[in-house]
């Protein structure tokens, strides 16, 4: 009887929290189909007009492409630099390696707003104009610590002998890295890459402060918000959500599902 | 002799690998940060930035109520959010770890963090749909006849807190779950053998052992919450500005970069203080 009660209490609580977590998203998606000008109750009926409006919006579509570009390029750079640094610090004895690790991780503990503001003051002073490149530079700054930490923490010592074997067989460092180390660490490299893609894709404040004419999607959505409650915002929000969830499902079923079994 | 040159060559190569990441971090993080710190000691007079070294911006921060109140608002909101999020997330993490069958746990976790994947800006906006005057909650309550007039739950501190807690409950559920699942069942058995009841076991054994997970999550919550501009700007209304909003105001309307820089340094000191307080529980290790 008491077990029964705690069970009911536990699942009741979980249900409430799940309800809290899902409420805004459910409302967002539901009213993206609103047949009317306001994305609030009453629900007037099902319509795809706001999705049509999203796809017809040139600025939104350009921002979508920009976001994609910035996310991919900055994540590739962050992963590459993070991997090289992790390899050097895990496999060689370098003076001040603890300090170097600390320096590489440091941006993680600083608010994005401060990172953006620092870059902005420097760019302003040197008269460098803002563009997608400056946004990308900022995104590498925030993603490099993440990529470094993930890859570094997966570089276990048990891989060293395999790398030594490759070196004894005449492979140079780059060959060892590209043909031995990287394939062995592929799950964590991919995890780092996809995490940093999502972070960059979703990042607002750096993209807002460091861009001018070409903007990324979150910045374009931000300017949509000025028009108040608008089903078009619901539609683009729902689209981003569905794409992310689809991506997540694919990753879960292929990449992470596999690594779990092995 | 030859072994030394070999070591030197090895070391030079290692420096070559680590250099790009270090240089990037120094050029685009450390230097800008120092530059900003220097700028916080300058001032802006009649539209021009004057390189006169003084503490005027910091003095103004403590002297002007409108600025100082921003830090207080930030700290209050961040503390409320952190505590509420931990209190709400811990039971959920515990239920998922202890009461949900093993093979459904991963699914339960994925479901708990699914709304995490909506766009960050859109997530705050979607709370506006729920909380605003003609939003879901007010319309439901009025239809049911619970209230006659719509409640004022958007555009104030409550809305900001709700928006934040929503985000951080997901984050904390993950960190606390990760900690709970690592605990060996032997701890509980030992406690039971020694005569502890369920509550005692939790209070004296489980809770202390999950402190690292709680503190990691709480620290992340603190850092992300106190530095966030989007959520309070969308949900908080204009009556109670937090520090990041005040920083953005300096940038936008007044183009007062030195003042914005000084406020950022103050924001950073608050985060550093939080780090010092939590440091003993936080660590990044190599497996």
Residue B138 pLDDT greater than 90, yes or no: no
Confidence of residue B287 (pLDDT cuts 50, 70, 90): very low
Residue B12, chain A, CB below 8 Å: the answer is no
Angstrom distance (rounded) from CA A115 to CA B261? 11
Residue B11 forms part of a structural domain: no
Residue B33 pLDDT greater than 80, yes or no: yes
Find out whether B154 and B133 touch, Cβ atoms under 8 Å: yes
Nearest residue in A to B247, CA atom: A113
Residue A249, chain B, CB below 8 Å: the answer is no
- The whole domain housing B232 covers 66-281
Angstrom distance (rounded) from CA B159 to CA B176? 25
Per-residue pLDDT of B158-169, as tens digits, reads 999 999 999 999
Helix axes A112-125, B31-39, angle to 10 degrees: 80
Confidence of residue B79 (pLDDT cuts 50, 70, 90): very high
Confidence of residue A167 (pLDDT cuts 50, 70, 90): confident
Q: Which residues in chain A (154-183) have CB-CB distances under 8 A to chain B?
A: 154-156, 173
State the pLDDT at residue B285: 45
Q: List chain A residues with CB under 8 Å of B287.
A: 153-154, 156
Residue B82 forms part of a structural domain: yes
Angstrom distance (rounded) from CA B208 to CA B203? 7
Residue A40 pLDDT greater than 80, yes or no: no
Angstrom distance (rounded) from CA A196 to CA B62? 38
Residue A48 pLDDT greater than 60, yes or no: yes
Is A73 or A249 the better-scoring residue by pLDDT? A73
Contact state of B257 with A152 under an 8 Å Cβ cutoff: no
The CATH number assigned to the domain holding B88 equals 1.10.3720.10
> How many domains are contained in chain B?
1
Of B180, B18, B26, B184, residue with least CA distance to B92? B180
Residue ranges per structural domain of chain A: 2-261
State the pLDDT at residue A260: 47
Strand ranges, E, within chain B: 43-45, 48-50
**Contacting residues for A210 by C-beta, under 8 A, at least 6 apart:** A116, A119, A120, A123, A130, A134, A135, A137, A138
Contact state of B115 with A221 under an 8 Å Cβ cutoff: no
The torsion angles phi and psi of B43, rounded to 5 degrees, stand at: -145, 170
Q: Which residues in chain B (122-151) have CB-CB distances under 8 A to chain A?
A: 122-123, 125-130, 132, 134-136, 139-140
Q: Which residues in chain B (245-264) have CB-CB distances under 8 A to chain A?
A: 247, 251, 257, 260-261, 264
Find out whether A228 and A98 touch, Cβ atoms under 8 Å: no
Of B98, B103, B90, residue with least CA distance to B221? B90
| Average model confidence (pLDDT) across chain A | 88
Phi-psi region of B277 (alpha: psi -120 to 50; beta: other; left: phi over 0): alpha
Residue B1 pLDDT greater than 50, yes or no: no
Per-residue pLDDT of A200-239, as tens digits, reads 988 999 999 999 889 999 999 999 988 888 889 999 999 9
Averaged pLDDT, A151-178: 83
The tokens for A148 are 């470094």
Rounded to a whole number of angstroms, the distance from the CA of A97 to the nearest CA of chain B is 10
Averaged pLDDT, B47-64: 84
Contact state of B25 with A124 under an 8 Å Cβ cutoff: no
Residue A119 pLDDT greater than 70, yes or no: yes
CA dihedral in degrees (A127, A131, A137, A139; nearest 10)?
A: 140
Q: Thinking of the domain A2-261, which architecture would CATH place it in? A: Orthogonal Bundle (1.10)
Contact state of A153 with B271 under an 8 Å Cβ cutoff: no
Residue B136 forms part of a structural domain: yes
The tokens for A195 are 């995490």
Give the closest of A17, A22, A222 to B121, CB-based: A222
Beta bridge partners of B44: B49
Cα A34–Cα A35–Cα A41 angle in degrees, nearest 5 = 50
Find out whether B114 and A246 touch, Cβ atoms under 8 Å: no
Share of chain B above pLDDT 70, in %: 96
State the pLDDT at residue A53: 87
Residue B24 forms part of a structural domain: no
């Amino acid at each position: 009887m008491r077990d029964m009660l705690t069970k009911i209490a536990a699942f009741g609580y979980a249900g409430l929290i799940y309800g809290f977590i899902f409420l805004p998203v459910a409302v967002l998606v539901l009213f993206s189909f609103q047949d009317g000008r306001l994305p609030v109750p009453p629900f007037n009926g099902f319509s795809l007009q706001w999705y049509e409006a999203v796809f017809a919006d040139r600025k939104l579509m350009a921002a979508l492409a920009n976001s994609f570009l910035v996310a991919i390029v900055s994540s590739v750079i962050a992963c590459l630099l993070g991997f090289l640094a992790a390899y050097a610090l895990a496999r060689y004895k370098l003076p001040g390696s603890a300090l170097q690790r600390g320096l590489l991780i440091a941006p993680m503990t600083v608010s994005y707003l401060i990172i953006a503001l620092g870059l902005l003051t420097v760019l302003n002073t040197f008269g460098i104009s803002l563009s997608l490149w400056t946004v990308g530079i900022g995104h590498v700054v925030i993603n490099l610590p993440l990529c470094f930490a993930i890859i570094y923490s997966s570089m276990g010592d048990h891989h060293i002998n395999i790398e030594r074997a490759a070196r004894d067989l005449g492979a140079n460092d780059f060959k060892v890295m590209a043909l031995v180390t990287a394939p062995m660490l592929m799950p964590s490299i991919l995890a780092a890459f996809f995490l940093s893609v999502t972070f960059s894709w979703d990042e607002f404040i750096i993209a807002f402060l460091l861009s001018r004419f070409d903007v990324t999607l979150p910045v374009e959505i931000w300017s949509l918000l000025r028009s108040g409650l608008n089903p078009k915002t619901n539609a683009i929000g729902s689209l981003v959500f569905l794409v992310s969830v689809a991506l997540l499902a694919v990753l879960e079923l292929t990449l992470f599902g596999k690594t779990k079994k092995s | 002799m030859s072994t030394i040159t070999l070591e030197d060559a090895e070391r030079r190569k290692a420096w070559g690998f680590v250099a790009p990441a270090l240089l990037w971090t120094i050029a685009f993080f450390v230097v800008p940060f120092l530059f900003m710190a220097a700028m916080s000691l300058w001032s802006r007079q009649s539209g021009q930035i004057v390189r006169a070294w003084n503490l005027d911006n910091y003095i103004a921060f403590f002297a002007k109520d409108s600025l100082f109140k921003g830090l207080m608002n930030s700290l209050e909101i961040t503390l409320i959010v952190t505590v509420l999020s931990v209190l709400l997330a811990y039971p959920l993490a515990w239920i998922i770890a202890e009461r949900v069958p093993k093979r459904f746990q991963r699914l339960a976790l994925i479901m708990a963090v699914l709304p995490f994947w909506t766009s960050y800006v859109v997530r705050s906006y979607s709370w506006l749909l729920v909380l605003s005057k003609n939003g879901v909650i007010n319309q439901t309550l009025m239809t049911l006849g619970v209230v006659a007039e719509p409640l004022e739950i958007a555009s104030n501190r409550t809305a900001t807190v709700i928006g934040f807690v929503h985000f951080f409950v997901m984050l904390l559920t993950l960190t606390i779950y990760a900690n709970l699942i690592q605990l060996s069942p032997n701890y509980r058995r030992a406690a039971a053998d020694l005569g502890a009841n369920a509550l005692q076991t939790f209070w004296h054994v489980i809770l202390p052992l999950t402190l690292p997970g709680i503190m990691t999550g709480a620290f992340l919550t603190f850092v992300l919450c106190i530095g966030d501009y989007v959520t309070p700007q969308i949900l908080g209304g204009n009556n109670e500005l937090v520090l990041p909003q005040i920083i953005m105001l300096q940038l936008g309307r007044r183009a007062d970069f030195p003042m914005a820089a000084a406020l950022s340094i103050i924001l950073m000191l608050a985060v550093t203080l939080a780090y010092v307080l939590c440091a003993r529980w936080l660590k990044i290790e190599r497996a």
